[in-house]
Amino acid sequence: MKGPRGTQDILPGSVEKWQYVETVLQDICNRYNYKEIRTPIFEHTELFQRGVGDSTDIVQKEMYTFEDRGGRSVTLRPEGTASVVRSFVQHKVYGSPNQPTKLFYFGPMFRYERPQQGRMRQFVQFGVEALGSDDPAIDAEVIALAMNAYQELGLTSLKLVINSLGDKQSRNRHREALKQHFTPHKEELCEDCQLRLESNPMRILDCKKDRDHPAMATAPSILDYLNNDSREYFETVKAVLDNMGIPYEIDPNLVRGLDYYNHTAFEIMSESEGFGAITTLSGGGRYNGLVEEVGGPETAGIGFAMSIERLLMALEAEGIELPIDEKLDCYLATLGDEAKQEAAGIIYKLRQEGIQVDKDYAGKKMKAQFKAADRLKARYVLVLGEEELQNNQINVKNMETGEQNTIAIQEVVQHMRSELKED
């Protein structure tokens, strides 16, 4: 039997990459002073309907929604922002004097999408959310954190694309202009876009089916409809990015697939040749108004998320090897039943002292035990044979230098500690 379509198993050999990436991302969040939050994997369906938005593809087509045994509709989270905001409101975190509240999260998200390379039905997002500040400098901070994360892992073929979706007033004016622009072409648009024309015309700009329709290229740009406040806000975000030396492109058609956005929207793309059809590595933006939507007080917010799957794909496309240490500190090889018994005690002590050690459990001959140690990339092989045991000694071989020492069994922990420290 196979696992469900669009899911994957992460086995030893790959999982080390995930663990490495997680520690790098945690370290970056620590430097930017973002704290981890863990929220449930399922929520009331209504949270995403209200938060992500009823007219989005995510809510209409992609959610894993089911009734629990109590008859409540629950949904496996398709993204992290709505849950973080729900938690922020539920625990009245807005009341704490430490604002903005800067949070990060890791975890599986679920979307019923057509699986392809870089698009899974279960994928892991790393995301950050900064709640409680409408300072344009925090927009730039969130973007900088995202860029920093990719660069620190070694990626170079990156493109940052930004846009402003303006405030409500700007968007309403733009919405009317889009309606007027696309209405004469209504019949030529795909079924979804015909509906979007009424519900959310901005989403037409993001349609994959109608991408090449001639009316797309001449569609009114949001940037021409920004009111003064929105334009000034965007100018400041750009100025802070300039100051940081972070290059960006402006794409007035960048609209994002979730309804909660306003003002700053951004995506980071991979420009690496081998990356594949989907080039977006991460996306985010400002969502002033979402906290109110979920029942909290007026609070500004901005964040972004990336999937670890796409990050690892980008690393592979750029040929980047992560510095993963697959070595084992020691392997204890034994000869004879008595030595085998004695070995269990030695291993137990070594492990208690923080030394990584393994041994044979398959009754292998001495030569095969050395082969196993090699495969496990053991730095030291400790040999306990009948003769050593009689003399209450153990033989320690450094596998890199070939150097061997025979030491008293009681001194093995001490000896290994100092050997490993020297390495």
Does 257 help bind ligand HAM (rule: CB under 6 A)? yes
Report how far residue 360's alpha carbon sits from residue 185's, in angstroms, rounded to the nearest whole number: 72
Identified binder of ligand HAM from the candidate list 131, 162, 305, 314, rule CB under 6 A: 305
Identified binder of ligand HAM from the candidate list 309, 329, 360, 419, rule CB under 6 A: 309
Does 113 help bind ligand HAM (rule: CB under 6 A)? yes
Identified binder of ligand HAM from the candidate list 285, 331, 357, 393, rule CB under 6 A: 285
Q: Where are the alpha helices (DSSP H) in 220-325?
A: 228-244, 290-293, 308-317
Structure tokens at 407: 């030491």
Does 159 help bind ligand HAM (rule: CB under 6 A)? no
Report how far residue 47's alpha carbon sits from residue 68's, in angstroms, rounded to the nearest whole number: 16
The least CB distance from residue 382 to ligand HAM, in Å, is: 45
Report how far residue 329's alpha carbon sits from residue 380's, in angstroms, rounded to the nearest whole number: 6
The least CB distance from residue 67 to ligand HAM, in Å, is: 24
Does 50 help bind ligand HAM (rule: CB under 6 A)? no
Structure tokens at 119: 């698009």
Judged by CB under 6 A, the stretch of 66-74, 115-123, 194-202, 397-405 that binds ligand HAM is: 115-123
**Quick check: 165 and 261 in contact, CB under 8 A?**
yes
Does 79 help bind ligand HAM (rule: CB under 6 A)? yes
Strands (DSSP E) contained in 165-287 are: 249-250, 262-270, 280-286
- The count of C-alpha atoms lying within 13 angstroms of the C-alpha of 390, restricted to the half-sphere facing its C-beta, is 5
DSSP, residue by residue, 52-118: T-TTSHIIIII-EEEE-TTS-EEEE-S-SHHHHHHHHHHTTGGGSSS-SEEEEEEEEEE-----BTT
Site for ligand HAM in 310-369 (CB under 6 A): 310
Identified binder of ligand HAM from the candidate list 127, 132, 136, 166, rule CB under 6 A: 127
Does 80 help bind ligand HAM (rule: CB under 6 A)? yes
Nearer to ligand HAM among residue 6 and residue 252 (C-beta): 6
Nearer to ligand HAM among residue 129 and residue 318 (C-beta): 129
Does 132 help bind ligand HAM (rule: CB under 6 A)? no
Strands (DSSP E) contained in 155-198 are: 158-164
Does 304 help bind ligand HAM (rule: CB under 6 A)? yes
- The number of beta carbons lying within 10 Å of the beta carbon of residue 227 is 15
Structure tokens at 115: 């699986």
DSSP-assigned letter for residue 159: E
Q: Applying CB under 6 A, what is the total number of residues that bind ligand HAM?
A: 28
Identified binder of ligand HAM from the candidate list 120, 149, 178, 269, rule CB under 6 A: 120
Does 284 help bind ligand HAM (rule: CB under 6 A)? yes
Nearer to ligand HAM among residue 287 and residue 380 (C-beta): 287
Strand arrangement, sheet containing 378-384:
357-359, 328-334, 378-384, 393-398, 404-408
Binding letters toward ligand HAM, positions 206-245, x by CB under 6 A:
----------------------------------------
Identified binder of ligand HAM from the candidate list 306, 333, 346, 383, rule CB under 6 A: 306
Nearer to ligand HAM among residue 124 and residue 384 (C-beta): 124
Does 280 help bind ligand HAM (rule: CB under 6 A)? yes
Judge if the upstream peptide bond of residue 100 is cis by omega within 30 degrees of 0.
Answer: yes
Does 282 help bind ligand HAM (rule: CB under 6 A)? yes
Judged by CB under 6 A, the stretch of 187-195, 215-223, 239-247, 298-306 that binds ligand HAM is: 298-306
For 378-394, letters b (16+ CB in 10 Å) and e give bbbbbbbbeebbeeebb
Does 119 help bind ligand HAM (rule: CB under 6 A)? yes
- The number of beta carbons lying within 10 Å of the beta carbon of residue 325 is 8
Nearer to ligand HAM among residue 127 and residue 220 (C-beta): 127
Does 303 help bind ligand HAM (rule: CB under 6 A)? yes
Nearer to ligand HAM among residue 78 and residue 220 (C-beta): 78
- The number of beta carbons lying within 10 Å of the beta carbon of residue 343 is 20
Report how far residue 413's alpha carbon sits from residue 212's, in angstroms, rounded to the nearest whole number: 69
Structure tokens at 399: 């596998």
Identified binder of ligand HAM from the candidate list 283, 369, 393, 396, rule CB under 6 A: 283
Identified binder of ligand HAM from the candidate list 49, 81, 270, 288, rule CB under 6 A: 81
Rg (CA), the chain: 28
Binding site for ligand HAM (CB under 6 A): 79-81, 111, 113, 118-120, 123, 125, 127, 129, 257-258, 280-285, 287, 303-307, 309-310
